[in-house]
Structure 1
Amino acid sequence: MELEAVKSSYARWAPVYDKTFGIITGSGRRAAVGFINRQKNCHGVLEVGVGTGLALPHYHEELNVTGVDFSTDMLDKARSKVEKQGLKHVKALRQMDARELDFPDNCFDAVAAMHIVSVVPEPERVMAEMARVCKPGGKIVITNHFAKEDGAMAVVEKMSAPFANLLGWHSDFAMDTVLQQPNLKLVEKRPLPPVNMMTFLVLEKIQTN
């Protein structure tokens, strides 16, 4: 997807996101945040594509959470949640292109990307950046819809693919796109409701020479 298409799409979705996609993606957020909350020696967390901040209230209070998003409309909603709910564990919300994360190498214990890898331009670059800022031994947690290989849903996904810029996501996004980083190994994969539409992935950063 083109960057301007992402920007305009999420400007349209921001006012209604929580009551539309926010409901559909709820199980993914619960799975991702629950996993991060259970990790030992996990302190610094980066949420890439924080959106309207739907996940922010659910992180443990002892965590230090940073959220980034390209959409200023989404970030305005997230900042409002943080202020109204007094979410002191949220240390920063920053406007940023996920292809060029403005953080040093190896600085987060966990990185979450919930329902954004099929939205961003150049998802391979985004995965490389998430791997770069994650500490060795740290986890990258992804929830997303990935293309089906066969069946009726696969047909629908292929038919919807040309409308990616209008919809705001790629309906035929292949899982292999996020599994190409040589310093990331897949440690967990499972389907999520509703009707196994979404997938939960955990990748661990390994030390490379």
Structure 2
Amino acid sequence: MLDKDDVIKKRYNRISGIYDVMDKMIKEEWRFNLLSNVSGKVLEVGIGTGANLYYYPNNIQSLTGVDFSNGMLKYAREKVSKGDFLFPIELVEADIQSLPYPDNTFDSIVSTCVFCSVPDPMIGLKELKRVCKPTGRILMLEHMRSENKLVGLVMDMLNPLTVRLWGANINRETLKTIEQSGLKVEENIPLMKSIMKQIFVRP
């Protein structure tokens, strides 16, 4: 019997061919504003099909992108092969809950709409804290359960369907989980009322 990680991985492999269309919910200006703040040695977790690749500044030292779905990485690799990037890019099939990197490796860590689908988000967040340098920063675009009671209840009702279709939980209280993980929230910027947020975090 497949475990939870394998079930979600299979769902993302299945939708990888249409994921770029689904990912249009993230506005270009949101990506640009987030990624203009990265520097040094960068890790993007849940890089997916590589939708963020074209928004990185050219002066970063390097970019490592990890995803647990080989189907998603196939499309990211195609973007890398066709692009004219001025920084080295490495794409790795890996699980955010067990990153294959030593402590204090990266200057900047990026996640965009990732923690809705991590099987155990607390473990994933603690892994980000582990591999981020003490002077580094974690930059996140994440959707989460609405703070509006009625909207939140609707999201609760729809959540089993979204999980079954593509493995994404739409009702997670991700900001609370970040705070409980021991990470320090520097900025919390609402982008779509309380559903989508840009979050800057220190380890």
* Alignment TM-score, normalising by the size of structure 2: 0.90
- Counterpart of 1:93, as a letter, is L
Percent identical pairs in the alignment equals 32
Distance 2:88 2:145 in 1: 33
Query: Which one scores higher on RCO, CA 8 angstroms, separation ≥ 6?
Result: 1
CA contact (8 A) 2:15 2:166 kept: no
In the other structure, the counterpart of 2:104 is 106
Segment drifting more, 58-67 vs 122-131: 58-67
Determine the C-alpha separation between the residues in 2 that align with 1:197 and 1:10: 22
Partner Cα separation in structure 2 for residue 198 and residue 150 of structure 1: 13
Aligned alpha-carbon RMSD (Å): 1.7
- Residue 87 of structure 1: CA displacement? 2.3
Please name the residue that 2:130 is paired with. 132
* Amino acid of the structure 2 residue aligned with 1:187: E
For residues 87 and 153 of structure 1, the distance between their equivalents in structure 2, rounded to whole angstroms, comes to 41
Aligned to 1:190: 189
Q: Which amino acid aligns with 1:77?
A: Y
Is the 8 Å Cα contact of residues 140 and 199 (structure 2) preserved in structure 1?
Answer: yes
Instruction: Point out where structure 1 has 5 or more consecutive residues left out of the alignment.
Output: 37-41
Give the length in aligned residue pairs.
Answer: 197
CA contact (8 A) 1:2 1:165 kept: no
SS of the aligned residue for 2:47 comes to coil
How far 1:35 moved relative to its partner?
2.4
Equivalent runs, 1:1-209 vs 2, <5 Å: 2-20=4-22, 22-26=23-27, 27-36=29-38, 42-63=39-60, 64-163=62-161, 164-174=163-173, 175-182=175-182, 184-193=183-192, 197-205=195-203
Q: Distance in 2 between matches of 1:28 and 1:169?
A: 20
Deviation (angstroms), 1:176: 0.9
- For structure 2, the 5+ residue unaligned runs are none
Q: CA deviation at 1:5?
A: 2.3
How far apart are residue 160 of structure 1 and its match? Answer: 1.4
SS in structure 2 at match of 1:16: helix
